Every structure is written in structure tokens, then in C-alpha cells.
């Protein structure tokens, strides 16, 4: 029986996963020029299915009026206690996640000191769930020792600080201080909403396509996008793991807050994987590596001729090498087959000394819909989801369960 995800999709200029379907997010907005970006963030949260209530400081309404946020959220906007004398208590009880974006250095410092001088800071004092702050400020102000000391206090209390990004600021200076992008902020919200069965675990993931160069401009490769590997990295982080990705060529967007090491050839990937393998608890080998490479690589571009004959030699089998070396690591492989899928997957599981293999039919390539099997020595589970991200979350949850049972 197939296992399907609960998340749904909508069609509005393309399909969109409802990753935050029904989740309750309290969006706090403080007074800085980056307030206009909170409008775009609110739209994204709503598209992902979240229920959002907005809480603004009085000064922030001078940048963007409350009516804009009320229209986009579908809920009344709170600035003070005029709409509800117990707003700080009721909003704190309602929210699953409290995100303040943008968060000025003034507000984050007040929160660090336990001050409650407006509705937003008072609500923080009444709130017991995940608190996320996304600062936005002039670089010098953000780097001020007093502000950094307050940030340290907040982190020590368990507050998530979504670090600002480097770029051109409104003051026309360049440096660290830009509000984090929507993708990073959303990813942190998803992180805060998931349990952490992989807390303290190190997860190593390979993904993407390796390239074997024939000459400086031509190479042997495949059309792997890296989407599944990057989705596995995102979801492993949501489950609490420290994640490292070794990636070949990819076209998919890199996961936020994850270390990505880039490689070119299969030998490069083997070298980097072996460096990280010993410290890893879980290793997921999703890369589409080239099985063969040219025996001789030309240092110059090969001129066009009537015919070109290439002599190939076998590349090292990274997964097989890891199977020989593993000492307690939970090792996961992938198999993509056009026929005899389960038979070939089981044979690969045994031959390469794997703990689990994810077997996919070849028709999942290039498809947004994703299906396959989780194959172990004594069991087979099928799964089917509307996206690779949903499949990745299911796979990582199962890996966590199986790893922790060992």
C-alpha cells in the first residue's frame, strides 16, 4: 500500500506544495526599511498554506500600513491593545511559531533584556514556543559589541537568530545587515516545526552529477539536477542533524544553512566523501556518478574530425568502497532501474553492504511526481508522493527511525 503525504498543492502559476498547511505563525514586524520585504514574506507564507497573524510595532506602520498586512493575511493586524486587552496573552497562546522579521537591533536588545514596552515585546514575554528573529540593520550597528552581546544571550536561551545577509544596504553601504531571504526564513520555520530525532547526528549526503572531461570543454555526464539530494539535506536539517553535502554539477537550488562541498569528477567525489565518512553517523549516497571516464584526457580542445573514438576506463565505485569501510555508519544507497527493480535493488543492497536502498523506477526522472521503494534485507516499503521534497522527508524520517533502533 502506498504512503502518501498530507501536504497538498495548489495551481497558481505552477504547482506549489502546502508545506505549512494550517500551521499558525505569528509574524512580528518592527520599524526598519526592510518592512516592505515582510509583505513578500507574508505572501509566501500564505501560499504555503500557513495561517498568519501580524503584530506590528507602532513605528513600523510608518513604513507600510497595517491595511496591507491585514488584506494579505486575512486577519486583523495588532499594533496595541485597542482591539483586545489580552492580545499579548491570546496571540502568544495561538501561535505555533513566533517570527519577528525584520527585527531591529532595538527590538532584539529589548527582548534580550526582558523588556515589554509595547505589544510585540510584551507578547514575546508571554510566549513559550519557538521564537525566531531575523535582524536587519546597518552593518556597524549590527556589529556593535552591545548588540552582539545581546544576540549571544538570545542564542543561549534557545532563540533562533536568522543571520542577516551580505549586500548593498538602504544606507548605501555594503556589508552584513540585509534581511535574510524568504527561502531561508521559511526553511527556519519548517525547521522549528519538526521534531528532532537526529539531534546530535552527523549526516553526509552526496548528490548531483559528476563530470569526466574528454578535453577542456567536453565531458561525459548525465542530467541529474541534484534536487533529491538537496531535498534530503533540507529535511535532515529539519530533523535536527548536522548536514554536509558533497555535490557534483546541479541545477536545483542549494539548501540553506547546509555546508555544500563542490566536486567535479567521480574521483574528486570519492576523495571528499572519504574525508567526511569516518565522522558521519548516517551516509546517504544519492549522487549520479559517472561509471566510466576517458582513459586519456586531452589538454587541448579536440578538433572536429570525421570520427572520434574514446577508450573508457572504469571509475572507482564509491558506494562499494564505503560499504567495505563502514564501522557503524548507517549507509543508504539509491537504485534507478528500468526493469527488475526490486531484484536488482536487493542484489545491490547485499553486494555493497548497505543498510537501506531507495529503489526508483526510471520514469521518475524529470517528473515532479515521485515514487519508489525502501528496500532492506527483510522488508520492502513502497511510497508515493507529489514531490521529491515530500519523498525526501518520508525517507529521512524512516532513516532516523531505523538508525535509532539499531
Angle at 391 between CA 385 and CA 392, to 5 degrees: 165
Take residue 235 and report the three cell numbers written for it: 529535511
- Considering only CA atoms, which of 198, 203, 140 is closest in space to residue 173? 140
Strands 370-375 and 380-385, by their bridges, are antiparallel
- Measured CA to CA, the distance from residue 254 to residue 379 in angstroms comes to 33
The verdict on whether omega for the bond into residue 200 sits within 30 degrees of 0, i.e. cis, is no
Residue 118, SS3? coil
Which run of H or E residues covers position 5? Answer: none
Annotated catalytic residue 171: yes
> On the CB side of 19, how many CA atoms lie within 13 Å of its CA?
24
Take residue 325 and report the three cell numbers written for it: 569501510
- Measured CA to CA, the distance from residue 287 to residue 334 in angstroms comes to 9
- Measured CA to CA, the distance from residue 214 to residue 128 in angstroms comes to 59
Q: How many helices (H) and strands (E) does the chain have?
A: 13, 21
DSSP character at residue 362: G
CA trace torsion 136, 180, 26, 33 (10° rounding): 40
Query: In this structure, what are the phi and psi dihedrals at residue 294, rounded to the nearest 5 degrees?
Result: -60, 135
- Measured CA to CA, the distance from residue 119 to residue 111 in angstroms comes to 12
Residue of 126, 141, 160, 171 with catalytic role: 171
Which run of H or E residues covers position 23? Answer: none
Is residue 24 a contact partner of residue 55, using CB atoms and an 8 Å limit?
no
What is the radius of gyration, based on Cα positions, of the chain?
A: 25
CA 173, chain centre distance (Å): 30
Take residue 120 and report the three cell numbers written for it: 510585540
Is residue 323 a contact partner of residue 352, using CB atoms and an 8 Å limit?
yes
What order do you get walking across the sheet with 160-161 strand by strand? 51-56, 24-29, 97-103, 131-135, 160-161
Catalytic residues: 171
Amino acid at each position: 500500500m502506498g504512503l502518501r503525504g498530507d501536504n497538498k498543492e495548489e495551481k497558481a502559476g505552477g504547482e506549489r506544495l502546502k508545506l505549512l498547511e494550517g500551521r499558525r505563525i505569528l509574524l512580528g514586524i518592527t520599524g526598519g526599511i526592510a518592512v516592505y520585504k515582510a509583505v513578500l514574506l507574508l505572501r509566501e507564507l500564505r501560499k504555503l498554506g500557513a495561517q498568519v497573524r501580524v503584530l506590528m510595532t507602532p513605528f513600523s506602520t510608518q513604513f507600510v500600513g497595517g491595511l496591507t498586512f491585514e488584506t494579505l493575511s486575512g486577519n486583523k493586524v495588532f499594533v496595541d491593545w485597542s482591539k483586545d486587552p489580552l492580545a499579548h496573552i491570546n496571540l502568544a497562546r495561538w501561535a505555533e511559531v513566533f517570527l519577528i522579521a525584520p527585527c531591529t537591533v532595538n527590538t532584539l536588545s529589548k527582548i534580550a533584556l526582558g523588556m515589554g514596552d509595547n505589544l510585540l515585546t510584551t507578547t514575546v514575554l508571554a510566549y513559550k514556543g519557538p521564537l525566531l528573529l531575523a535582524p536587519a540593520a546597518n552593518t556597524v550597528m549590527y556589529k556593535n559589541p552591545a548588540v552582539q552581546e545581546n544576540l549571544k544571550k538570545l542564542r543561549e536561551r534557545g532563540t533562533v537568530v536568522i543571520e542577516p545577509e551580505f549586500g548593498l544596504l538602504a544606507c548605501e553601504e555594503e556589508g552584513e545587515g540585509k534581511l535574510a531571504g524568504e527561502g531561508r526564513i521559511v526553511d527556519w520555520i519548517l525547521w522549528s516545526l519538526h521534531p528532532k530525532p537526529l539531534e546530535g547526528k552527523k549526516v553526509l549526503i552526496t548528490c548531483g552529477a559528476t563530470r569526466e572531461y574528454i578535453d577542456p570543454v567536453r565531458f561525459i555526464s548525465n542530467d541529474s539536477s541534484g534536487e533529491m539530494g538537496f531535498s534530503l539535506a533540507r529535511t535532515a536539517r529539519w530533523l535536527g542533524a548536522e548536514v554536509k553535502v558533497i555535490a557534483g554539477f546541479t541545477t536545483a537550488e542549494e539548501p540553506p544553512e547546509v555546508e555544500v562541498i563542490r566536486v567535479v569528477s567521480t574521483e574528486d567525489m570519492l576523495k571528499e566523501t572519504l574525508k567526511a565518512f569516518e565522522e558521519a553517523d548516517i551516509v546517504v549516497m544519492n549522487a549520479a556518478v559517472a561509471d566510466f571516464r576517458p582513459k586519456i584526457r586531452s589538454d587541448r580542445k579536440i578538433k572536429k574530425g570525421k570520427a572520434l573514438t574514446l577508450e573508457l576506463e572504469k571509475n572507482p565505485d564509491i558506494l562499494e568502497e564505503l560499504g567495505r569501510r563502514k564501522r557503524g555508519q548507517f549507509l543508504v544507497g539509491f537504485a534507478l532501474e528500468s526493469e527488475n527493480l526490486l531484484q536488482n535493488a536487493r542484489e545491490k543492497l547485499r553486494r555493497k553492504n548497505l543498510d537501506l536502498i531507495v529503489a526508483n523506477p526510471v520514469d521518475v526522472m524529470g517528473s515532479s511526481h515521485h515514487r519508489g521503494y525502501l528496500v532492506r534485507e527483510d522488508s520492502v516499503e513502497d511510497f508515493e508522493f507529489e514531490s521529491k521534497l515530500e519523498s525526501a522527508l518520508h525517507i529521512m524520517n524512516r532513516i532516523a527511525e531505523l538508525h535509532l533502533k539499531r
